[in-house]
Amino acid sequence: MDEAEVGEYRRLAKRDGVTLAEWVRQRLRRARREEPSRDVERKLGAVRAATSHEFPTGDIEQMLGEIESGYRS
Protein backbone atom coordinates (compact mmCIF):
# COMPACT_ATOMS: atom_id res chain seq x y z
CA MET A 1 0.00 0.00 0.00
CA ASP A 2 1.18 3.47 -0.65
CA GLU A 3 1.25 6.19 2.01
CA ALA A 4 -1.90 7.86 0.67
CA GLU A 5 -3.87 4.65 1.09
CA VAL A 6 -2.53 4.07 4.60
CA GLY A 7 -3.36 7.68 5.44
CA GLU A 8 -6.94 7.15 4.31
CA TYR A 9 -7.23 4.06 6.51
CA ARG A 10 -5.81 6.02 9.46
CA ARG A 11 -8.41 8.72 8.88
CA LEU A 12 -11.22 6.14 8.81
CA ALA A 13 -9.92 4.50 11.99
CA LYS A 14 -9.75 7.88 13.73
CA ARG A 15 -13.30 8.64 12.61
CA ASP A 16 -14.41 5.36 14.20
CA GLY A 17 -12.44 6.11 17.36
CA VAL A 18 -10.15 3.10 17.14
CA THR A 19 -6.52 2.44 16.34
CA LEU A 20 -5.55 1.58 12.79
CA ALA A 21 -4.75 -1.98 13.91
CA GLU A 22 -8.21 -2.40 15.47
CA TRP A 23 -9.87 -0.89 12.41
CA VAL A 24 -8.07 -3.41 10.19
CA ARG A 25 -9.04 -6.31 12.50
CA GLN A 26 -12.69 -5.24 12.41
CA ARG A 27 -12.70 -5.01 8.62
CA LEU A 28 -11.06 -8.41 8.25
CA ARG A 29 -13.59 -10.00 10.61
CA ARG A 30 -16.45 -8.41 8.70
CA ALA A 31 -15.04 -9.63 5.38
CA ARG A 32 -14.75 -13.17 6.78
CA ARG A 33 -18.39 -13.11 8.02
CA GLU A 34 -19.68 -11.79 4.70
CA GLU A 35 -17.73 -14.28 2.60
CA PRO A 36 -20.19 -16.74 1.12
CA SER A 37 -19.86 -20.29 2.26
CA ARG A 38 -17.84 -22.44 -0.10
CA ASP A 39 -19.43 -25.66 1.17
CA VAL A 40 -21.33 -26.67 -1.97
CA GLU A 41 -22.49 -29.99 -0.55
CA ARG A 42 -24.03 -28.28 2.48
CA LYS A 43 -25.89 -25.85 0.22
CA LEU A 44 -27.10 -28.65 -2.04
CA GLY A 45 -28.25 -30.60 1.02
CA ALA A 46 -30.33 -27.64 2.16
CA VAL A 47 -31.92 -27.31 -1.29
CA ARG A 48 -32.64 -31.04 -1.44
CA ALA A 49 -34.22 -30.98 2.02
CA ALA A 50 -36.38 -27.98 1.12
CA THR A 51 -37.60 -29.55 -2.12
CA SER A 52 -38.41 -32.88 -0.49
CA HIS A 53 -41.49 -31.41 1.19
CA GLU A 54 -44.91 -31.30 -0.39
CA PHE A 55 -47.26 -28.48 0.42
CA PRO A 56 -50.58 -27.54 -1.11
CA THR A 57 -50.34 -24.83 -3.72
CA GLY A 58 -52.62 -23.11 -6.16
CA ASP A 59 -52.59 -22.34 -9.81
CA ILE A 60 -49.71 -19.98 -10.57
CA GLU A 61 -51.87 -17.55 -12.55
CA GLN A 62 -54.38 -17.35 -9.72
CA MET A 63 -51.63 -16.75 -7.16
CA LEU A 64 -50.05 -14.03 -9.30
CA GLY A 65 -53.45 -12.40 -9.73
CA GLU A 66 -54.01 -12.40 -5.98
CA ILE A 67 -50.60 -10.88 -5.40
CA GLU A 68 -51.26 -8.17 -7.98
CA SER A 69 -54.66 -7.36 -6.48
CA GLY A 70 -52.96 -6.93 -3.11
CA TYR A 71 -50.72 -4.23 -4.60
CA ARG A 72 -53.75 -2.26 -5.69
CA SER A 73 -55.53 -2.40 -2.30
Which residues of the chain fall short of a pLDDT of 50? Answer: none
Task: Please report the pLDDT score of residue 14 as a whole number.
Answer: 97
Helices (H) and strands (E) in the chain, counts: 4, 0
> What is the reported pLDDT for 4?
94
Tell whether pTM > 0.85. Answer: no
Check residue 36 and give its pLDDT. Answer: 74
The pLDDT of residue 73: 73
- Percentage above 90 pLDDT, the chain: 58
Total length of the chain: 73
- Predicted local distance difference test score (pLDDT) of residue 60: 92
For the chain, give every domain's residue range: 1-48
Residue 37: the pLDDT is 67
**Closest by alpha carbon to 16, among 27, 5, 4?**
27
